Structure 1
């Protein structure tokens, strides 16, 4: 299988998974991480960012 074929297969799988996101189980540690982040926001030591802002900040940090 060529690299292009592999990428096409990955894209097809990803598109299929996106159609039924509730069927994709989250790992058990995921809820713990989310709760810890919510606690930090509630305590005022952290804040949520919307995705466009976060994405821009990540890009700026990695350039």
Structure 2
């Protein structure tokens, strides 16, 4: 299957923090757009929704 990757609307092009997402059928793919050849993560839709909720609440910064 050929995946169609798109840049996340939460990517920060100013700081070079770019994440791409892809619909993988039963999972959601995530990868670093600066290094797509390095592979990707595959999350369940539930785990992806949880991750998005944390990102939207800005809870992932150190």
- TM-score in terms of structure 1 length: 0.32
Instruction: Determine which structure has the larger strand proportion and give its number.
Output: 2
- TM-score in terms of structure 2 length: 0.33
Instruction: Determine which structure has the larger helix proportion and give its number.
Output: 1
CA radius of gyration, larger in: 1
Which of 1 and 2 has higher RCO (CA within 8 Å, sep 6+)?
2
